[in-house]
Structures are given as structure tokens and as C-alpha cells.
Amino acid sequence: MNDESFRMLELSQQGFYCSQILLMMGLEAQNKTNPDLVRAMAGLGGGIGFCGKNCGSLTGGACLLSFYAGKGSAQEKEDSRMRKMIEEFVDWFEKEYVSLYGSINCDVIYGGDPVKGKKRCPQIISMSYMKVKDILNANGFDMSGNK
């Protein structure tokens, strides 16, 4: 288990959800904390507020890409590559997990079975984080926040 996987497991054991873990990893890569943002990301856990809809790793991954490439103030501009990066991530996620589990929805991925969730979700979170990192790197983004 690498350091990132260990950290994700640690965050999971602390009670954070998939979407929160992904953003926390991005924040930590920049040596930042933002409890308000982390708290807001809980709304994506369990398939959008635990409704079983789109997996929080999918929506959290899109948010993590936006964390690096999105507009954050009136003075900033959205990076022109952001939407393409999110599209690439969503396409990858659908290909990976629809073929494995038949859906991108939480209720199908773990079928309401917490045991399945404990087996499947950590891998999905880890693979999603690696894919986001790959996409960011391929587009010239330094996750540490340095230009």
C-alpha cells in the first residue's frame, strides 16, 4: 500500500466519505485545509446525499479537477481545459465501473450491501484519485499548487 492509499484509508476510517476524501487529498497536496469545503463535499457522498445516485468518487473527482482548473473568484478565469478534463474523467469512470458493476450509481455499485461497499469503494476512490492526478499532470497542473 502506497502513502496515498494509506492516507485515503485513514481518512475513511475517520468517517469521511469518498467525495470528501478526494478533495482532502487535493487540499493536502497543497498543504491546505478547508473544513467548509470538506463539509460541503459530504453532500456528494453515498450518491448525492446518500440517495444512491451518481457515485461520490465520480462527482468528487469532477470537483477535484475543478478545484485546480475552475474559477474561484471574480478575478479568476476558468481554465479552458477544465470541461474537457472533466469529460475525460467521466468517460473513464463510466467505462471502468459500468463494465464492472453495471452502473455509476452507488446503489447499484454496492447494492445496498455495506460489505460490498467496504470492498469496492476504497478501490474506486483510489483509482479515481489516480486518474484525476493523471489528467491534471497531462494538462500541466502541479497538484502542489506551484506553477
> Dmax over Cα atoms in the chain, in whole Å?
46
Q: Is residue 114 very low, low, confident or very high in pLDDT (cuts 50, 70, 90)?
A: confident
> Which grid coordinates are listed for 128?
479515481
Give pLDDT tens digits for 31-78: 999 999 999 999 999 999 999 999 999 999 999 999 999 999 999 999
* Confidence bin at 1 (pLDDT 50/70/90): low
pLDDT, one tens digit per residue, over 122-134 is: 999 999 999 999 9
Rg from Cα positions in the chain: 15
Percent of the chain with pLDDT strictly greater than 70: 98
The per-residue pLDDT of the chain, averaged, comes to 94
pLDDT band of 113, cuts 50, 70, 90: confident
Of the pLDDT bands very low, low, confident and very high (cuts 50, 70, 90), residue 83 is very high
pLDDT at 64: 98
pLDDT of 147 reads: 53
Cα 138 to Cα 88: distance, rounded to the nearest angstrom: 12
Assign 146 a pLDDT band (cuts: 50, 70, 90).
low
Q: Is the pLDDT of residue 145 over 90?
A: no
Cell of 27: 487540499
54 bridge partner residues: 105
What would the grid cell of residue 18 be? 469518498
